[in-house]
Amino acid sequence: METIPAVSQLEVTPAASEASAVIRVEDAHKYYELGETRVHALRGVSIEIQRAEFVAIMGASGSGKSTFMNILGCLDRVTSGRYLLEGINVSEHDKKALALIRNAKIGFVFQGFNLLARTTALENTELPTLYAKIDNTERRKRASDALAMVGLAERAQHFPSQMSGGQQQRVAIARALVNRPSILLADEPTGNLDSRTSVEIMEIFQNLNDKGLTIVLVTHEHDIAQFAKRVLVFRDGRIRKDDPVLSGPRASEVLKTLPTLED
């Protein structure tokens, strides 16, 4: 295995480390080169997100939401501008360092659940810990704890094909949590789910957020965005709106009003 520097050895910008912002983006631009053409996907995005915020991102297709999420998740870098994640100036680091930061600090959930088919819920959840220097007992414990957090303790030995879409997405959330990340990033996590199951996923997000987890979620459904505490609207690579959600619903309350599958 290649040796990579510990996160503590990465440069921490003094001014940023004093602030409480988990995410600080300053005038971010992103260009994609497509042969002769350049796509200007982000056109000057600046934002701060504090610890324990729950932010929903909305906006038309092509407005730059996924580009922005990939940058927040250290999957890609800004072309110009800066991104500070917990005071670490991510924009200055190379791919190896980005991978290390990502594994330690970020949990991802996508629209497709991306679980390994012939692998149990517990083993799927364990996968991200394989890069961490912990023994197998600790690995197993962390994965079991993460599955319990999403209400799937009893399904640890089930395979994806034996689970509903909602249960598979919960395994994906457990997998995202297993390394105890600073931020959970979710790009359209309810895009493949029915209404009730979507609200169940939002209930899990609200519960995790109550415990202090910072969450950034992309959705094109207005009703889903209302479960967050703050909504950003992207348009043409810029943030056009940034509004708090005032007295948004609790997913657990909404669930009481929705029919279950058995009804």
The helix/strand/coil state of 227 is coil
Q: How far is the CB of 17 from Mg ion (least distance, A)?
A: 31
Q: How far apart are the first and last CA of the chain?
A: 53
Dist CA 163 CA 145 (whole Å): 19
165 binds, among ligand ADP, Mg ion, none (CB under 5 to 8 A by kind): none
Burial class of residue 86, CB neighbours in 10 A (0-12, 13-18, 19+): buried
Residue 61 or 136 with smaller CB distance to ligand ADP: 61
Query: From CA 189, how far away is CA 130, in angstroms rounded?
Result: 24
* Alpha-carbon gap, residue 203 to 197, rounded angstroms: 10
Rg (alpha carbons) of the chain, rounded to whole number = 19
The entry of ligand ADP, Mg ion, none near residue 41 (CB within 5 to 8 angstroms by kind) is ligand ADP
Angle at 53 between CA 16 and CA 237, to 5 degrees: 75
Q: What is the DSSP letter of 12?
A: B
Q: Which is nearer to Mg ion, 67 or 167 (CB)?
A: 67
According to CB under 6 A, which residues from 42 to 71 bind ligand ADP? 59, 61-67
Q: How many residues bind ligand ADP, per CB under 6 A?
A: 12
**Which one of ligand ADP, Mg ion, none is in contact with 67 (Cβ closer than 5 to 8 A by kind)?**
ligand ADP
Tell me whether residue 32 or residue 80 sits nearer to ligand ADP (CB atom).
32
Q: Is 167 among the residues that bind Mg ion (CB under 5 A)? A: no
**Nearer Cβ to ligand ADP, position 64 or 181?**
64
**Which residues ranging from 51 to 70 are in contact with Mg ion (CB under 5 A)?**
65-66
Residues in the site for Mg ion, rule: CB under 5 A?
Answer: 65-66
The footprint of ligand ADP (CB under 6 A) covers: 32, 34, 39, 41, 59, 61-67
